[in-house]
């Protein structure tokens, strides 16, 4: 069982905005929903977990590894699908994912090929592997985004507002992919969509103005909203 423990995390930007105001959360395997309106602090929290910014105070531990200080952890065990992930050059899905695998440190070419094909299969893009990614639809792009987040077999992936801009069918397809993956690893899903958290997540927290207002199981919490 994997555990991510965020303890008394704080981040104030230089303009004085307290984007993360003493946040503590404990997350175990499965899908964890971080629900909050625009400006609540979701992206700030995600960016801090994936190492894009340092908190002013507090700790983030993953199975006792120090996520803030341990760059090996970030490289090996964590995947990230940022909001509006968007690097779609004129290369095939296979080539782009292979390139990202090299950056992630998957240097053995046989291992890389196997992993890339297995991931494209997992996200239902295997038959499109030779197509240029710049021709992909929104839903295909987001599924590709999940494939890149899963490179290197991370134990946790962070997914920020992944279904923004997808039509209902693509959103459903994307969400069932997340559910499948969430059986094996931790997924933190940041979203403003109550319905997605309700349908997908086993645990959730509601964040507003940098504060966690309440956390628990969606079935218990959402009926109080």
Which of residues 37 and 89 has its CB atom nearest to ligand ADP in the complex? 37
Among 42, 104, 112, 203, binds ligand ADP (CB under 6 A): 42
- The residue among 211, 146, 206 whose CA lies nearest residue 179 is 146
Query: How many residues line the site for ligand ADP (CB under 6 A)?
Result: 14
Is residue 141 a contact residue for ligand ADP (CB under 6 A)?
no
Q: What share of the chain is helix, strand, coil (3-state, %, to 5)?
A: 35, 30, 35
> In this structure, what are the phi and psi dihedrals at residue 151, rounded to the nearest 5 degrees?
-60, 135
Which of residues 115 and 190 has its CB atom nearest to ligand ADP in the complex? 190
CB of 188 to ligand ADP, least distance (A): 13
> In this structure, what are the phi and psi dihedrals at residue 201, rounded to the nearest 5 degrees?
-100, 145
Is residue 158 a contact residue for ligand ADP (CB under 6 A)?
no
Is residue 188 a contact residue for ligand ADP (CB under 6 A)?
no
Which of residues 53 and 124 has its CB atom nearest to ligand ADP in the complex? 53
Q: How far apart are CA 172 and CA 174, in angstroms?
A: 5
Tokens of 44: 């700030």
Q: How far apart are CA 13 and CA 20, in angstroms?
A: 9
Q: Which residues bind ligand ADP (CB under 6 A)?
A: 13-15, 17, 19, 36, 38-44, 53
């Amino acid at each position: 069982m994997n555990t991510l423990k965020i303890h008394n995390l704080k981040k104030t930007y230089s303009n004085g905005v307290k984007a993360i105001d003493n946040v503590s959360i404990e997350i175990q395997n499965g899908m964890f929903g971080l629900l909050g309106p625009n400006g609540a602090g979701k992206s700030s929290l995600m960016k801090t977990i994936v190492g894009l910014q340092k908190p002013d105070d507090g700790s983030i531990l993953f199975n006792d590894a120090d996520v803030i200080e341990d760059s090996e952890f970030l490289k090996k065990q964590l995947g990230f699908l940022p909001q509006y992930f968007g690097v779609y050059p004129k290369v095939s899905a296979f080539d782009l994912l292979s390139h990202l695998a090299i950056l992630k440190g998957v240097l053995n070419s046989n291992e890389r090929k196997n992993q890339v094909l297995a991931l494209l299969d997992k996200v239902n893009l295997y038959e499109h592997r030779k197509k240029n990614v710049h021709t992909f639809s929104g839903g295909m792009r987001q599924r590709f985004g999940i494939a890149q987040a899963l490179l290197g077999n991370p134990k946790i992936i962070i997914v920020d507002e992944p279904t923004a801009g997808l039509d209902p069918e693509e959103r459903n397809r994307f969400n069932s992919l997340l559910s499948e993956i969430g059986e094996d690893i931790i997924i933190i899903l940041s979203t403003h969509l109550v319905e997605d958290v309700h349908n997908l997540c086993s645990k959730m927290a509601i964040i507003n103005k940098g504060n966690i207002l309440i956390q628990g199981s969606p079935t218990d919490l959402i009926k109080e909203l």
